[in-house]
Amino acid sequence: MSLPSSPVPSSFDEFEHQQDSFDRIVRHRQTLADEAARVAKEHPGARIVGLIFEKDAPEAAEFRRALGMADGGSQLDFVGVVPRQIVLGIVGLDGSEEFDAMRDDTNGDLRRLPILFVATTGFRWGRAEYRVDARSG
């Protein structure tokens, strides 16, 4: 089961951009949840965020650098799970409501992954649920 993206209006000015950002989170939610489950199983204490960024977003070059991606990767959008500190360091959300959205909630083996979509025109937050089976692996 996955959670809906945040219904709170984002920093997008136009409805079409808001809808596209919502659609992109929905489209990639399961992939990010699956990756988060894998990372959490291999690194139980990892604090992670699902990240989607457009190749032309203002923060894209900085994200690529922080993730050790080659400059040739600049032709592609990015979808993946990254350490929370990378997102905080680049987007600078400390102390904001958006920072609170990055809480990594845990209830036994059920976890909630914060997802950040970074577009050329703004940000949108979403969430995904995933399970980590502590008995396997």
pLDDT in tens, the chain (137 residues): 444 444 444 444 566 777 777 888 999 999 999 999 999 999 988 889 999 999 989 999 899 999 988 765 566 789 999 998 899 888 876 555 655 655 666 666 788 899 999 988 888 888 899 998 755 44
Residues in the chain: 137
Tokens representing 41 are 């199983």
Task: Please tell me the distance from the alpha carbon of residue 137 to that of residue 117, in angstroms, as a whole number.
Answer: 31
pTM of the model: 0.78
Is 49 in contact with 93 (CB distance < 8 Å)? no
Q: In this structure, how many other beta carbons lie within 10 angstroms of the beta carbon of residue 87? A: 24
